Structure 1
């Protein structure tokens, strides 16, 4: 499937996040940096990564010698039941998780700049492709990754979480761009620090992010005294892939759901890592956490989480009706049963993740409220009664109807419509309606207009986001205003990178005077360490080739003296 067809096959609300990979944008220097890093990583990971890793690279369309194209990856991933799309930098976590739930890997479009060889401030294709994709070949891991997406897209995220994401995205763009001034970066860092400090009550999404970090990004597999690397953050980092093996510096702990109690700092090497016994064990731990989430528990506790988050969430009635909005009030009886809920601001009514006709955010722009529970003298939930059964109880469209709930809430007015779907009553619409509670306090007044009453005896599930995400989108594709750090634009330099690779691959023979021309280009770029690394790929140790390689090695050693972090990490 080509890129255009793949994008068109996506749900409409996800398409805007997907970019088109123009493969010609990657320069010979980009490919050289990919080769350098992948050669270094693959050599070190042969004995330290999970046994699946090296085969996984090949089986997911990832080569060691060139940046993968999304078509190459998708051709390989199709055999595994997965796909991949490319995106620009960070995307909202809920969107990322939804892609993953659809068995779609999200791959950052850009290749890191040479200036960011060891640390990239924005996601890049090396981390996303070479770090995340290879383990898809393990069925248990693939199941875990998809499950993580399904759980993650239901997690309740707070307004503070959204502020943290916006701040991270802004800072990442500034650090990864050519026009990010020190003052701008300092301001963005201060903003991120402020919003992070304000995020004191951790949401489900924040806790799940910790579990994601300690497994998908920085996980180890095996036993605490005999482990292998599988986390993408470790696999794609020259420094971390070595540092994590130092048992004196990095404590190894058995993975349990308690890992969510451990915070992480993306700016420094981790002081501890968690070891899972197997990929199947990962899913077990994830399910342990999921069992505590509002989408599994629902009820009063779930709605209280939604209110505390102050973000758009969805409450699902036992009838299947879904109410999506910013919840601001919930009432319960003496034993904790939800009896009334209310949202403020745009609200959507849906069923099976599809918005009900006439019940979008425009129809409920100012909010929504409704009782929850059983009606007196009805042996079943009101949603389960047929039209004839309702009629036998005096509930007829066009007539005045009074519903007295067990909670003491009473709804009375002219019934003007019933929305039925799959032989269920989902919404009763009243005109001239009054709703009161047990104490006689008015919950809804006739002058407020039509009262659309949700039908359902309880709330078994509450989850983050809207039910019909296409009709009620919460995230818009972020506009990137960054000017990328461009690789060298000198045609002679880029041509030298391309020519060396062609010779090494055997696609071209050395021409007379070519070595001397390459040496002259190197003299014009005395700090271009990567070009010297490319020279070392040439075969031969005598004659002109040997002389060029010897000079390149000596110059490389000199250059790296001024780059201690690089010198301590790279091996030649």
Structure 2
């Protein structure tokens, strides 16, 4: 029992989670009794603030699924969430102490298990937190796992991630995750709406992503997406847009092996590059 902490990118402080509790697959049991009343109240405030910002900015499909999940008053028990998920799409959530390595992450997704950080941010991090926490994962990621097509896409992404690691293409596929599951936009009834968890759990980027003239917005195209770097410490310079989750699923159905071979060795685009030359 116990695994080494995980850090992605550069950080001046160690990861916050208790990795001594993690098993071989980096999962851990949710210690529900450890949450304080102050944490339950903070979770409720985070949920209420973000839910109020969704209309006209978030995908209506996400809003519908969020209401079905029904986890707004207190930090929910993961077992209660799983009762909804498993009945709808066969998914479940599993606790993790924080960020986990790519291979166990992909393996969990391939098994229709979504890793959810089991600790909540501090009050002074109400508006911004560096690492994904329980609120980001539960509010941003989990509702769309009730959507059958999107749920299948996430599982297939996990299967593709394990393959990409064997082919040395993990960075390319990570960019696809970033620009769809984390920071994707969808066009609904002619209007731009957010479906990516990183946008949906951020009060500032939710408005910025769909309304600001500053970023560029491009139709999702696999080669371009896999060559585009992304921002981890600021709002995105580029967003990729889909027309439906069915389009996303169809677009990512082919074997990526020839695409990886085609892109290997080509230079990456900067996060704000405006041409595909």
Q: Do the structures match in fold with TM over 0.5?
A: yes
Residues 4-403 of structure 1: matches in 2 within 5 Å? 15-60=24-69, 62-80=70-88, 81-156=90-165, 203-222=168-187, 226-257=191-222, 258-288=224-254, 290-292=256-258
Q: Label 1:276 to 1:14 Cα distance change in 2 as closer, same or farther (>3 A).
A: farther
SS at match of 1:287: coil
Judged with a 3 Å threshold, the aligned counterparts in structure 2 of structure 1 residues 213 and 144 are, in CA distance, closer, same or farther, namely: same
User: Aligned equivalents of 2:166 and 2:203: distance in 1?
Assistant: 33
**SS of 1:48 mapped into structure 2:** coil
Task: State the distance in 2 between where 1:224 and 1:240 align.
Answer: 21
Q: 1:46 to 1:105 in 2, by over 3 A?
A: same
Unaligned stretches of 5+ residues in structure 2? 1-21, 266-277
* Preserved contact between residue 97 and residue 118 of structure 2 (Cα < 8 Å): yes
Q: Which structure dedicates a bigger proportion of its chain to strand?
A: 1
Q: In 2 relative to 1, CA 289–251 (structure 1 residues): closer, same or farther, beyond 3 Å? A: farther
What RMSD over aligned residues (CA atoms) do the two structures have, in Å?
Answer: 2.5
Secondary structure of the residue that 2:241 maps to in structure 1? Answer: strand
Q: Deviations over 1:467-493 (max 9, x none)?
A: xxxxxxxxxxxxxxxxxxxxxxxxxxx
- Kindly tell me the number of residue pairs found equivalent between the two proteins: 241
Q: Distance in 2 between matches of 1:289 and 1:263?
A: 22
| CA-CA distance at 1:271 after TM superposition | 1.5
Deviation at 1:293, TM superposition (A): 6.0
Deviations 1:444-468 (A, max 9, x none): xxxxxxxxxxxxxxxxxxxxxxxxx
SS at match of 1:207: helix
Find the residue that maps to 2:72 and give its secondary structure: coil
Structure 1's unaligned 5+ residue stretches are 1-12, 159-202, 295-300, 309-572
Write out per-residue CA displacement over residues 241-290 of structure 1, whole angstroms, 9 at most, x where no aligned residue. Answer: 11112241122111111211211010111112111111111123323572
Are the counterparts in 2 of residues 157 and 206 from structure 1 also a CA contact under 8 Å? Answer: no
Task: Check conservation: 1:223, 1:277, Cα contact below 8 A.
Answer: yes
The 8 Å contact of residues 81 and 93 in structure 2, kept in 1 or not, is answered as: yes
Larger Rg: 1
**Deviates further, 120-129 or 242-251:** 242-251
> Judging changes above 3 Å, is the alpha-carbon distance between structure 1 residues 210 and 157 closer, same or farther for their aligned structure 2 residues?
farther
Tell me the CA shift for residue 77 of structure 1. Answer: 1.2
Corresponding residue for residue 332 of structure 1: none
Q: Partner residue of 2:272? A: none
In 1: Cα distance, 2:66 partner to 2:236 partner? 26
* 1:291 shift after superposition: 4.3
Tell me: higher relative CO, structure 1 or 2? Use CA pairs within 8 A at least 6 residues apart: 2
How far the C-alpha of 1:59 sits from its partner, in A, is 3.0
- TM-score between the two structures when normalised by the length of structure 1: 0.40
| Structure-1 separation of matches of 2:105 and 2:189 | 31
- Cα distance in 1 for partners of 2:31, 2:153 equals 31
Residues 422-571 of structure 1 aligned to structure 2 (within 5 Å): none
Contact 1:223 1:276 in 2 (8 A): no
- Alpha-carbon distance in 2 for matches of 1:286, 1:216: 13
